[in-house]
Structures are given as C-alpha cells and as structure tokens.
Structure 1
C-alpha cells in the first residue's frame, strides 16, 4: 500500500519475466523457428525495453516507465486479439457426450 492507503500500482509481470521473454526471444531455437515460420528474424527489442522500464519503475517510480509498460501490455493484448480462433467454439455439448469413448457410435442416417 502507498501513503494514501491505496494499493500501489505494480507492473503486470515481474521484471524477471520480461528478461526471460527477451532471452527466449533471442535464443537460437526461437530465432530459427520464427525465421522458418515468418521469413524474418524476431524483434525482441520491446521485451528489453519493458524490462528496463520495469526496473526503472521499481527503483524510481518513474511515471514515464509506468505509462510505457502499460502501453506495451495494451499493445500486446490487442495484438493477441487480432487473430481468430482456429476452431469454431461450441455453443452446447455434442448429443452423444455421455457415451463411453470405446463404444461404437450409431451412424446417423
């Protein structure tokens, strides 16, 4: 809690998580996979900036660092929401959900 009695703002992730993501992004395996999949090298700079902003927030409570982290996380969430699901989500369970799996299902005619 801060001096006013309110819950103090904390970064959405631990600072070490940003560094781990940066190290993973720079790993040979990830670089190869990203290049194979997308034809380009991955851009890992944002993870590094987020790590430094997180550390800056922890040390000095810099408002710019807080805003930069919030903006980065919002962008990350928005990027994830762009993609449509691969499978169509069910609205209800299948009619035969209660049948044992090893039993033959009757053929619909």
Structure 2
C-alpha cells in the first residue's frame, strides 16, 4: 500500500523569477514604456519585496514571509482579473459550426 506524502509548501514561482521581474521592471526600456503608457514611472518595490520574502522562506521557513508572498500573489491575480476580455466568450459553438466554409464568398473588410 502506497503512503501519501504531504509535500512542503513551495512559492508559486522560483525566487529567481521574482528577481528577474524586478530587474525587468527597473530596466530603462520598461521605465520608458510604462511612463509613455501610464504617465508615471513603474513601482518595482513589490517585486523586490517578493524576492526577499521568497528567499526568507527558502532559507529560514519564515511564516510571515510565506504569508506576505501568498498575499502578494493573490493581489496580483485579482488585479489581472479586473480587466475585461477583448472578445466576448462563447457559451456554445455557433449553430452552423459543422458546415463547410464557403470559400467563394468574397470577404468585405
């Protein structure tokens, strides 16, 4: 009989991913793009804090660092879910999805 093993908690990303995101955020090209798009410089502090929390968790299993990292990821996911999709999602396929395409029909743009 196989025993089930409980795996220890791991951060949702590798710690180097947080560092890479921080470096990208601080890059001149990203700062220029962000300023052009939003009219302000990007705030890279959260990526730095997430990297520090990730390292703290890996080295000392600090529960506060774990909780802060989890909260940061939840916040990041919630922010991305705020945006409305570009296309309206279908609930079902079109009624004539199984019919062959009409190749001769001229397409108007």
TM-score higher than 0.5: yes
1:13 match: 13
Indicate the SS of the match to 1:74.
helix
2: CA distance between counterparts of 1:45 and 1:98? 54
The residue that corresponds to 1:72 in the other structure is 72
Please show how residues 19-98 of structure 1 align to structure 2 within 5 Å: 19-94=19-94, 95=96
Q: Take 1:88 and 1:81, find their aligned partners in 2: how far apart are those partners?
A: 15
List alignment gaps of at least 5 residues for structure 1.
none
Cα drift, residue 31 of structure 1: 0.7
Q: CA deviation at 1:91?
A: 3.0
- The aligned length equals 102
TM-score of the superposition, structure 2-length normalised?
0.83
Deviations 1:6-36, CA, capped at 9 Å, x for gaps: 2100000000000000011111111111111
Kindly tell me: are residues 54 and 80 of structure 1, through their superposed partners in 2, closer, same or farther at Cα, counting changes over 3 Å?
A: same
